[in-house]
Amino acid sequence: MDALRESALSGSGDALVRLGEITRDDPTVFPHLIQVIRVFLNYLRLPASTDTSPPEEFYTLLRRAACYFHGLNIALQSPQALEHSKSAGLMITCPQIYPWAVKFLQHYFIDSNLPISPLAVSATTVRIVELLGTLSADLDYCEKMRETKGFVFSMTTLWIYGIRAGQALVEDVVRITMTHILQKRTIDHEVTDALSRVPNDVVVEICTRVVASEQDPNSGYDAGIMFLVISTMYSRSFTRAFISCHSVPWICRRLAGIAVKEEENASYARLFQVSLVYLQRAFKEGAGRIIEGLDADVIPMLLEVQSKLEAEDREATLIPLLHLITSYTLYRNVLTKVWKAIYMADLGPAISEAGPIGDAWTILKETTETRWEILKDYMAAGRELTRCSYPACPHPDVGSKRTLRRCEGCRFEYYCSKECQKQDWHDGHNEVCRMLQNCLRDGLPMLMSKRERHFAYAIIDKDIQDNTQLIEELKAEKLRDMDSLAVLLTVTDYTPVPRKLYIRIDEEFRRSENLPTEKWDAALKLGKEAGKDFVLAIIPQGTKAQALLDMYPFDFDTISV
């Protein structure tokens, strides 16, 4: 053993690996190994100087570095090895090892932008990340990683490289390391900086690769989901790219596959928790993303996942998702899909669960059923949108049997004929349509179409009718300390769950909406002439709400949609 130790102290990588194997089998050797590790670090030249060496020496130096990290990692594979290494002095030495690893990764993956085809560079990289993955499992060693300048930045960059280059081993080990490190969010800026350096075309490429990746059935973590969750947590560009490349149905299907597994562990519970947080973020983008989720059976998936979550995680992640879906049943396309999902699913166990989670499922079910009945009555009464979007339409007939065609560009306007659509295009819709299409490409939420908005007014109308007495009481209370000439607005706010109903005066509304005085005065005049009240409906639309102001009672033949 003395001869082996002396050989390692002289710079022999093979001797160091062999010494690591002996230490793995005999923990009492750890102090000798750590002494060698400290001395051997002097034989590791910085990457920039290694590149200037002759080819043969270049490969020798990189192989020596690979042996250094590999030998230490082997020694740490026995039970209690991490604890033994601390008492032997590795905790004092690792603040010197980590910076060397950072400089290596910085040089080859960030600064020089060299192709990583040489086997020596790849082999050394693998050995580095394997050791870091082992050490990151220990809280003390992991904390030292967080304290090392540039460590998280380099590892994030390496993770991106591993995905793009198809280096599965590098990607997997780096993911594990990053998962441990990011349990304490003290270095968020380094992750953000690394992600922000990625060009947009590469961001799209990486996100597309992740969504197209296959799940490892033997892994406790889903590598693709973990990268998606972490990258979207720190980067708006990755969030936009992932949402745009249809990650919502992908993650719903992946979670459904994991949820039906019999085994349960902390890794799966954590995976479900962070995935639902991402789904919540995606669903906030608007009805289009919720429809993607519904088409991928998000309701059955949530029913399966619910039993895998702790009570506090259910309230923190599942309830906001259910409330988002509930609020968007104001959209006709969402409503029809939610009703079908609820009709096919067994909600009994979920609804019967005590507390907020059971209440959330109950509200979703009852709201959907109520609005589904409104939709059936709406269609039976022939109240559907029949007015052509072309202002000069030569066919003013708005009979209930007329079917309109939707503009497939903006998905907002509806026309009674090709002729009207063509004429409106030349009269100005072309510019509006292109603007709306650009908004969709940029990831902005899709507008509620005229057809959907027309039906939304039917829901608003029913809510007002059902609460006539309450509205009158609220109006009387509002006028108690105000000028009797004040104009009152009935506000139905559909962004929270359950929806809110309250009264505002015209001055409050005009200030909050920055409405020009002349425009509001003109609206007031029309309302008074028609003998009508005003209703302000606030509807969910992506990350922002949309306010719809109209006179009440509604005229469904001429309503401004």
Q: Name the band, by pLDDT with cuts 50, 70 and 90, for residue 129.
A: very high
Strand order in the sheet with 488-493: 500-505, 488-493, 533-541, 544-552
CA dist 291 and 300 (Å) reads 14
Q: Which residue has the tokens 């870091």?
A: 132
If you average pLDDT over residues 280-284, what whole number do you get?
A: 91
Average pLDDT over the chain, rounded to an integer: 86
Pairing of strands 405-406, 544-552: unpaired
- HSE, side-chain direction, 13 A CA sphere, residue 220: 11
Written as six digits, the tokens of 256 are 């459904």
What tens digit of pLDDT does each residue of 37-59 get? 998 888 888 877 877 788 888 88
Is pLDDT of 409 > 90? Answer: no
Q: Tens of pLDDT along 419-433?
A: 999 999 998 899 888
Residues 6+ apart with CB under 8 A from 350: 303, 306, 357, 358, 361
pLDDT at residue 116 is higher than 50? no
- For 537, the 3-state DSSP assignment is strand
pLDDT tier at 217, thresholds 50, 70, 90: low
In the predicted structure, residue 198 carries a pLDDT above the cut 80: yes
Q: What is the pLDDT of residue 221?
A: 61
Tokens 């059902």 belong to 466
Lowest-confidence segment of 194-203, 327-336, 376-385, 487-496 by average pLDDT: 376-385
Taking the model in full, what pTM does it have?
0.81
Mean predicted confidence (pLDDT) in 501-523? 74
Note the pLDDT tens digit of each residue in 150-172. 999 999 999 998 898 888 888 88
Question: Is the bond preceding residue 498 a cis peptide, omega within 30 degrees?
Answer: yes
Structure letter (DSSP) for residue 444: P
Contact 293/243 with Cβ under 8 angstroms?
Answer: no
- Quick one: CA dihedral 86, 88, 90, 93, positive or negative? positive
Q: Taking residues 87-94, report their average pLDDT.
A: 91
Q: At CB < 8 A and 24+ separation, what contacts does 77-80 make?
A: 77/24, 77/134, 78/24, 78/25, 78/27, 80/27
Greater pLDDT, 372 or 108: 372
